[in-house]
């Protein structure tokens, strides 16, 4: 009992010391922090942006494919997570959802099928491309662009073939 009371008192004393020894934010700035703060205030006064925006850069295949790869991965993961939870707790079963989807006209379903298949195909093909980069294969700039365009073209082609095959199968 005595040990517990002493430990509580020590904790209270250390917390009190911590609170009373804190500096004001204006006093805690180092010279570099003060310079940076003043610089940002000057930029804001001149109505300049604090950070550059993507619109000032020329789009390049390399960073567009990199961003698309990340977005496709997030879309597939999010769809799996939210779809799984939705079918688990929702009133509609997966089988009912598929039957409803099959009842929609091809004009409605074809873009969805293309979107889904493009995400899967692009993520898989670009993943293989990135494995090649990890193995230090094809990392010179001309080959990077050739493989990027090949991945993009093959992804569109394979996705179109998937949609066409499913439309043919439905007839």
Indicate whether 18 pLDDT > 60.
no
Final residue before a domain boundary, out of 53, 86, 103: 103
Q: Which residues contact 49 (CB under 8 A, 6 or more apart)?
A: 43
Lowest mean pLDDT across 30-39, 68-77, 150-159? 30-39
Q: Are residues 129 and 79 in the same domain?
A: no
Residue 33 forms part of a structural domain: no
Specify whether 118 is located in the same domain as 148.
yes
Give the whole-angstrom CA distance, residue 1 versus residue 22: 32
155 inside domain:
yes
Q: How far is residue 26's CA from residue 59's CA, in Å, rounded to a whole number?
A: 41
The pLDDT value recorded for residue 92 is 92
Q: Is residue 58 part of a domain?
A: no
Report pLDDT digits (tens) over 92-151: 999 999 999 999 998 999 999 999 999 999 999 999 999 999 999 999 999 999 999 999
Among 60, 79, 103, the domain-final residue is 103
- On the question of pLDDT at 168 being above 80, the answer is yes
If asked whether residues 113 and 81 sit together in one domain, one would say: no
Residue 6 lies inside a defined structural domain of this protein: no
Whether 127 and 138 share a structural domain: yes
Q: Residue 39: which pLDDT band, with cuts at 50, 70 and 90?
A: confident
Q: Which pLDDT does position 11 carry in this prediction?
A: 59
Residue 40 lies in a domain: no
CB atoms within 10 A of CB 122: 22
Q: Is the CB of residue 72 less than 8 Å from the CB of residue 123?
A: yes
Q: Which of 15-29, 31-45, 67-81, 144-158 has the lowest mean pLDDT?
A: 15-29
- Count CA within 13 A, CB hemisphere, residue 73: 10
Q: Report how far Cα 67 is from the mean position of its chain's Cα atoms.
A: 8
Name the residue with tokens 């997570």: 81
> What is the reported pLDDT for 32?
83
For residues 158 and 117, membership in a common domain is answered with yes
Residue 159 vs residue 25, higher pLDDT: 159
Find the largest Cα–Cα distance for the chain. 84
Average pLDDT score, the chain:
86
**Who has greater pLDDT, 28 or 82?**
82
Domain shared by 131 and 153, yes or no: yes
**Cα→Cα distances 122→70, 92, 146, 160, Å:** 11, 30, 15, 12
Domain that holds residue 95: 71-103
Q: Is residue 124 assigned to a domain?
A: yes
Tell me the two tokens of residue 149: 């365009």
Q: Is the pLDDT of residue 22 over 80?
A: no
Average pLDDT over residues 161-171: 88
- The reply to whether 66 falls in a domain is no
For 51-62, what is each residue's pLDDT tens digit? 777 778 888 999
* Number of independent structural domains in the chain: 2
CB 147 within 8 A of CB 129: yes
Contact (Cβ atoms closer than 8 angstroms) between residue 122 and residue 68: yes
* DSSP letter (8 states) at residue 135: T
């Amino acid at each position: 009992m005595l040990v517990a009371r002493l430990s509580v008192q020590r904790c209270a004393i250390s917390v009190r010391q911590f609170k009373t020894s804190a500096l004001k934010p204006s006093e805690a700035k180092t010279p570099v922090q003060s310079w940076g703060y003043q610089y940002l205030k000057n930029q804001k006064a001149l109505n300049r942006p604090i950070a550059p925006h993507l619109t000032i850069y020329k789009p390049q295949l390399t960073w567009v494919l990199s961003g698309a790869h990340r977005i496709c991965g997030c879309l597939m993961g999010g769809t799996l997570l939210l779809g799984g939870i939705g079918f688990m707790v929702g009133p509609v079963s997966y089988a009912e959802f598929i039957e409803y989807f099959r009842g929609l006209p091809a004009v409605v379903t074809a873009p969805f099928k293309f979107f889904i298949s493009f995400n899967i195909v692009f993520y898989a093909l670009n993943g293989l491309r990135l494995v090649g980069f990890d193995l230090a294969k094809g990392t010179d700039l001309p080959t990077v662009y050739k493989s990027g365009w090949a991945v993009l073209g093959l992804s569109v082609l394979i996705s179109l073939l998937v949609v066409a095959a499913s439309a043919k199968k439905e007839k």
